[in-house]
Amino acid sequence: MAVHSIDRNTWLTKLERIKLLSSKNQDIKFNNLGHIIDYKMCYR
């Protein structure tokens, strides 16, 4: 899988981290996830 960002994390890794954070704290709000999503991700 290609690296998506400067911090060397793939978008899948970032989504897994969001999943982990949201499962630990159900009151957490994610206001903007658009910076994670790109065209390649939409086609998967």
Domain ranges of the chain: 11-43
- What contacts 30, CB < 8 A, 6 or more positions away? 18, 22
Q: Is the overall model pTM greater than 0.75, yes or no?
A: no
3-state SS, residue 12:
helix
Per-residue pLDDT of the chain (44 residues; tens, 9 = 90+): 444 555 555 666 778 888 888 899 989 888 887 777 777 777 76
CA torsion through residues 21, 35, 8, 11, sign: positive
Q: Residue 11: which of 3, 20, 22 has the closest Cα?
A: 3
